[in-house]
Structures are given as C-alpha cells and as structure tokens.
Amino acid sequence: MVQNVATRMAELEPEDFYLLSGVEHGMRFSRWVAAEKIPQFSRLDGDEVDYRLDRCMDRELLERKTIQYTGYRLTFEGYDALALRTFAERETIDGVGAPLGVGKESDVYEVRSFQPLALKYHREGYTNFREVQKEREYTAQNKHRSWLYTARKAAEREYDALETLFPEVNVPRPVDQNRHAIVMQRIDGVELSRAKLESKQVVGVLELILEEMATAYDAGYVHADMSEYNVFVNSEGVTIFDWPQAVPTDHENSYELLTRDVDNLVGHFDRKYPKETPELDRSGIADAVAANGFENVREHVREA
C-alpha cells in the first residue's frame, strides 16, 4: 500500500524537489541512479545532495540499494510528491483530502479545490516491478521499462480518453494530468457493484450504460475494462470511469473487447437481478452498440 504523501508535502523544501527531479531524470537511463551522478542531474552540490538524500530517505521518497555501486530510485511516494507539486504550482489543486477509493491499479483521493475533484495516481507496473523474476527479464532484454514509465503511460492514455469522450459521454470531466496522475471531476454516487437498484429501475440502468458505451464507440473508444466496478450510479444517471485501457475502435481487437464489455455488463445484471433482467442476445447488443444504434433492451430479448 502506497502511503498518502500529501501530509509530508509541507515539510519539503524546493531543494528536496530538485533532488527528486534529478533522481527521476536519472531513472530514464538506469533502474538505480548512481549516487555520484545525482549532483549533475539535480544541479545541487555534493554536500547538499547528501543532506537532501537523507531527508528524502527519511520520508521514504527514495530507496537505496548497493550492488556494485550505491544507487537511488524514487519510491511511488516520491513520484507522487513530484506530481502533487506540479499540480500545486499550476494551481490545479489546493490540497489532498480523504481516500475515495483504492482500485486494482490506482489510489484515488478527494482534492480540495474550488470544486469537487478527484486525484488518481496510477500504479500500473508496481507489482510486476517487485517480482524478482520480472526484474530479471527486464534486465535480460536490456529493456529498461520501469513502473514510472508504465504508470505514466496509463495516466496519459486515460486522460486522452477522457478528453475525447467528455462531455458527449458521461465520464468524469478531465482537469489536469502530470506524470502518473490525473485530476478529474469528483463523481458522487455509488458503484454499480454496491448499488441496490429497485426492480423497476434495473432495465433502465442497463440501457443507460449501454447507451453510453454506444456514444463512446461512436466517439472512437471501447472501454475494454467494463464492469460493475467502473460505473457510478446516482440520481442523475450513470457515469463510466477508469479508462486507461480504452482501445480505439479502429484497433484490430476492438470488436472482441466490445463483446467482452457487453458480456461483463449483462452478466452482472443477470447474476444480480435475475428476475428483472430478460434473457438477452448479447452479440446483437454489441452490434447495436458498435453501430451507435442501441436504443433499448426490448429489441434484444431472446424469444423463449
């Protein structure tokens, strides 16, 4: 579990960020940044670097390892601190509040600002990175792809999708992106997985979600991770979130992924609301979504 770095931000000084940025820069070239290269990368003199290294190590913003040489790398907390500082400098956010959710591959916090916002730190690549085996594979291929890169790419992909889809599709409004983090509109509501829909709402909610998927497809995207965990329901309707693995509709697997999305969604309704959910022709629904011609589930009910 990555800790909330926001509480440590006030103690950090500009030079601490020079040091962290320097280590970040060095991590483009090697997994562990050699101690003697840090003055050059951070533009701090040797004594200053030593002092800042201690401070950042104490705050768990850096990790150290001695192999043939002593090297340092950012922890996720250190990377979080760099992103937070950027958001604060751009006046995107005033502060970070309580956790909103911990996902499979992210930490999401509420944000203090002039409007309700959410901050999502991507954590893709983190668990892999901790597996020694994987680390060996990376080295063997001489391919230096750290979690920094994987997580940043995921944040960029998610932000791009949100920018394309908002406002035609009900997704959180994108506000800002830096490194592995995105800031977006905070959605009030309850995840579909935890919602207790009344019988008469069930089919209508399923239809709303399928309509959003059809509009997204028309705008060029298949979600590709559709599930009851990535949909919020509230009195105004539904919001679909968690888009980092969204696939452009011209991608060769997009139809397959759309079918899987429809399967996951309809499967959830079948299991949770068996009485209210009619038996549906799922591939017919996928076709209608892809043609942006989805109107209602009645057209897709299988004859008994």
Q: Which residues are catalytic?
A: 225
Residue 165 CB, shortest distance to ligand ADP, in Å, is 13
Residue 228 lies near ligand ADP (rule: CB under 6 A)? no
Q: Which residues make Cβ contacts (< 8 Å) with residue 150, sequence separation at least 6?
A: 124, 125, 128
Residue 106 lies near ligand ADP (rule: CB under 6 A)? yes
With contacts defined by CB under 6 A, name the span among 33-41, 57-65, 129-137, 185-193 that binds ligand ADP: 185-193
Residue 72 CB, shortest distance to ligand ADP, in Å, is 28
Residue 209 lies near ligand ADP (rule: CB under 6 A)? no
Residue 264 CB, shortest distance to ligand ADP, in Å, is 14
Copy the structure tokens of residue 122.
Answer: 């991507």
Residue 176 lies near ligand ADP (rule: CB under 6 A)? no
Q: Rule CB under 5 A: which residues touch Mg ion?
A: 103, 229-230, 242
How far is 254 from 257, CA to CA, in rounded Å? 5
Closer to ligand ADP by CB, 39 or 101: give it: 101
Residue 229 lies near ligand ADP (rule: CB under 6 A)? yes
Residue 285 lies near ligand ADP (rule: CB under 6 A)? no
62 in Cβ contact with 74 (< 8 Å):
yes
Q: Which residues make Cβ contacts (< 8 Å) with residue 205, sequence separation at least 6?
A: 192, 195, 197, 233, 238
Element containing residue 231 per DSSP (H, E):
strand 231-234
- CA angle, residues 84, 108, 72, in degrees to nearest 5: 50
Q: Could you say which DSSP state residue 33 is in?
A: E
Query: By CB neighbour count within 10 A (0-12 exposed, 13-18 middle, 19+ buried), where does 175 fall?
Result: buried
With contacts defined by CB under 6 A, name the span among 78-86, 95-103, 195-203, 271-279 that binds ligand ADP: 95-103
Closer to Mg ion by CB, 103 or 284: give it: 103
Helix axes 76-89, 147-165, angle to 10 degrees: 40
Q: Which residues make Cβ contacts (< 8 Å) with residue 252, sequence separation at least 6?
A: none
Residue 230 CB, shortest distance to ligand ADP, in Å, is 5
How far is 259 from 280, CA to CA, in rounded Å? 13
Report the partner that residue 155 touches, choosing among Mg ion, ligand ADP, none (CB closer than 5 to 8 A by kind): none
Return the SS3 of 142.
coil
Q: Which residues make Cβ contacts (< 8 Å) with residue 90, sequence separation at least 6?
A: 176
Biggest alpha carbon–alpha carbon distance for the chain: 79
Closer to ligand ADP by CB, 60 or 191: give it: 191
Instruction: Give phi and psi for 291, each to the nearest 5.
Output: -90, 5
Query: Of the candidates 262, 268, 276, which has an alpha carbon nearest to the alpha carbon of residue 194?
Result: 268
Closer to Mg ion by CB, 190 or 291: give it: 190
Residue 95 lies near ligand ADP (rule: CB under 6 A)? no
Q: Which residue is nearest to ligand ADP (CB)?
A: 103
Report the partner that residue 186 touches, choosing among Mg ion, ligand ADP, none (CB closer than 5 to 8 A by kind): ligand ADP
Residue 81 CB, shortest distance to Mg ion, in Å, is 24
Considering only residues 33, 93, 108, 238, which one is a binding residue for ligand ADP as defined by CB under 6 A?
108
Report the partner that residue 184 touches, choosing among ligand ADP, Mg ion, none (CB closer than 5 to 8 A by kind): ligand ADP
Q: Which residues of this chain interact with ligand ADP, rule CB under 6 A?
A: 100-101, 103-106, 108, 118, 120, 172, 184-187, 191, 229-230, 241-242
